[in-house]
Structure 1
């Protein structure tokens, strides 16, 4: 079975919709064509020239990078930076580059899922819920067509609330209309006032599925002109956002917990605040840069907050209330390669997926 970049992108974007990426981010297909055939994929945390050479040696058609090689718009591509050189070589060698970054950070089965399993943490919810991720659709359908339209909306992805699916609210009423000479009314006649028994259907859906939901409505609704309303909701989705809050299987003292993290995540060193003297049970964590999560972790009454890129004065905050742990940016995100390889291996059996063996951490440690 032939696999194309488009097939890979569709599966990845079903896991982590591009719409969930932060506004400053640059995700999706960066270089290449969606119609390019793929036989070998290389997954990397950072795309360096050494990683690109590795993709050549493995005869890869597609590189999937967690961190984008292009953040800011480029006015020219002359090869003066490593990013420009990689783009030039990718085009010459017909290698596509796809980026999945902050959109993977915010989904429940994304960046945090692998680490939580590795550390044996039972996640409860996200730490930083992403706002405005839920919309609400209200539409009015002839009673005899309500089941068809409602089921089509469910199939398109509407009506899911946490662990429940097929959720909707319905009530019957009377709809009125009068079409002019240009209309083709499904019920009634042109230029004649008409009242029809209708069902009002209300469902919620993820905002990134707006076009899919709307298309399903238009395709299955019998009316020439469909009456509908779409609203942005303030409701928070507890499974979409940055970081997570969860619990260890058993409590641990602080010293043993730090040793546990070092061993499980293979980390050379850890920076941390003064011990609080409390047992560690409730965990809050943000992979990558997460210093803004300290306050949220305290509000969640977590025993420890784990992240990276913390500043000197961050370790003074909330003394004795929470243990603050900095494990390093690269160290907190390196298992993303494992996550993506496992995910792609399950979805594509006819292609080879490799994890880059290049150690791309720019921070070096002197022991």
Structure 2
């Protein structure tokens, strides 16, 4: 097994195409073709984590947060980031980060929080837009069914909760091949008219190269006419945060104590408690102040997130309870989830859960 094989499994879970533009995900250090001796999974890659990988003979670290976030102009060991990168390179250890790709995944960070809190009827809080594309192509009518089937098998034709979606229009296509052409139907130098079907199918943007490869291989024409457009539809299966509901309503105080226990946090900073039961809970792992309005718009009674600033709490405006449980605390179960996921995908290989607590925030 090489590093790229592990990346492929992680990409199936959380395609990097859906990571936020500001983020730095993917293989940050190392060679994708390097054979893997062991995998260490962590929330953050610190020097102690690299030491842990060395001690466990792991030459691939799968980290939730990226150790390299901004550009590095020097590698002198002056900062903890530089020291981590240097030590990893010196010991031939690759580092891969999944970060907001997993934040936006339907089974990712926020689903983990929902499951930890026992929330049901989960849905994406802030669905991503511009993640659905449409392919339109033109094929001889006699080949239309076969081409559609191949495109469907490659992952095209999915839209929300529906599969095998397409739109088809029959018409006539014309073409005239020059002396260098080699038409599959008709003769070069002669104008040809063919009964064709215009096929339109949607697909998820991370599948574009696969869809096009399938199109070119399955289409009978020497020159394939096609167009790809990006749809404005939001994607209900990809996006930041989630909202779900408790099995039974709780008072605000009981709910905060429940969250404190389930999320294993020592402290919850919160806005004014409202005199109404808590039933619908929105969650967003990590820094989530930008989700306050979305949570209110979906009538959430409470938002569980982290890194709220002083003035963010005023945004509750007695419409919602805001609960800041801590950044690390909101994401702490992610590495166990990734270990379980990779262990199921790679059954004959060592996938190790890091024992290093990387939380930089301490409580007195």
The TM-score range, normalised by the shorter chain, is over 0.9
Query: Post-superposition shift, 1:129?
Result: 1.6
Query: Post-superposition shift, 1:92?
Result: 1.6
In 1, are the aligned partners of 2:2 and 2:35 still within 8 Å (CA)?
yes
Separation in structure 2 between the aligned mates of residue 285 and residue 291 of structure 1, nearest angstrom:
11
Matching of residue 11 in structure 1 with residue 9 in structure 2: yes
After the TM superposition, list the runs of 4 or more consecutive aligned residues in structure 1 that deviate by more than 3 angstroms. Answer: none
In 1, are the aligned partners of 2:134 and 2:202 still within 8 Å (CA)?
yes
In 1, are the aligned partners of 2:47 and 2:87 still within 8 Å (CA)?
no
Partner in structure 2 of residue 315 of structure 1? 313
Partner in structure 1 of residue 86 of structure 2? 88
Matching of residue 230 in structure 1 with residue 225 in structure 2: no
In 2, are the aligned partners of 1:43 and 1:63 still within 8 Å (CA)?
yes
Partner in structure 2 of residue 79 of structure 1? 77
Matching of residue 255 in structure 1 with residue 253 in structure 2: yes
Separation in structure 1 between the aligned mates of residue 268 and residue 16 of structure 2, nearest angstrom:
33
Pick aligned residue for 2:279 from 264, 281, 295: 281
Pick aligned residue for 2:216 from 215, 218, 240: 218
Matching of residue 40 in structure 1 with residue 38 in structure 2: yes
**SS of 1:243's equivalent?**
strand
In 1, are the aligned partners of 2:111 and 2:242 still within 8 Å (CA)?
no
Separation in structure 2 between the aligned mates of residue 271 and residue 150 of structure 1, nearest angstrom:
53
Matching of residue 165 in structure 1 with residue 194 in structure 2: no
Deviations 1:308-327 (A, max 9, x none): 11011221223321111111
Separation in structure 2 between the aligned mates of residue 308 and residue 121 of structure 1, nearest angstrom:
19
Matching of residue 53 in structure 1 with residue 25 in structure 2: no
Query: Post-superposition shift, 1:238?
Result: 0.9
In 1, are the aligned partners of 2:307 and 2:324 still within 8 Å (CA)?
yes
Unmatched segments (≥5 aa) in structure 1: none
Q: Which moved more, 1:5-14 or 1:70-79?
A: 70-79
Correspondences of 1:132-281 after superposition (within 5 Å): 132-281=130-279
Partner in structure 1 of residue 327 of structure 2? 329
Separation in structure 1 between the aligned mates of residue 209 and residue 17 of structure 2, nearest angstrom:
12
Deviations 1:3-46 (A, max 9, x none): 21111011111211121112221111111111222232111111
Partner in structure 2 of residue 20 of structure 1? 18
Partner in structure 2 of residue 99 of structure 1? 97
Separation in structure 1 between the aligned mates of residue 236 and residue 161 of structure 2, nearest angstrom:
11
Query: Post-superposition shift, 1:123?
Result: 4.2
Separation in structure 2 between the aligned mates of residue 59 and residue 303 of structure 1, nearest angstrom:
47
Q: Which moved more, 1:355-364 or 1:124-133?
A: 124-133
Separation in structure 1 between the aligned mates of residue 316 and residue 112 of structure 2, nearest angstrom:
29
Deviations 1:284-312 (A, max 9, x none): 11110010111111111111111111011
Deviations 1:253-275 (A, max 9, x none): 11111111111111111011111
**SS of 1:29's equivalent?**
strand
In 1, are the aligned partners of 2:287 and 2:306 still within 8 Å (CA)?
yes
**SS of 1:317's equivalent?**
helix
Correspondences of 1:99-138 after superposition (within 5 Å): 99-138=97-136
Query: Post-superposition shift, 1:124?
Result: 3.5
Separation in structure 1 between the aligned mates of residue 164 and residue 251 of structure 2, nearest angstrom:
44
RMSD: 1.2
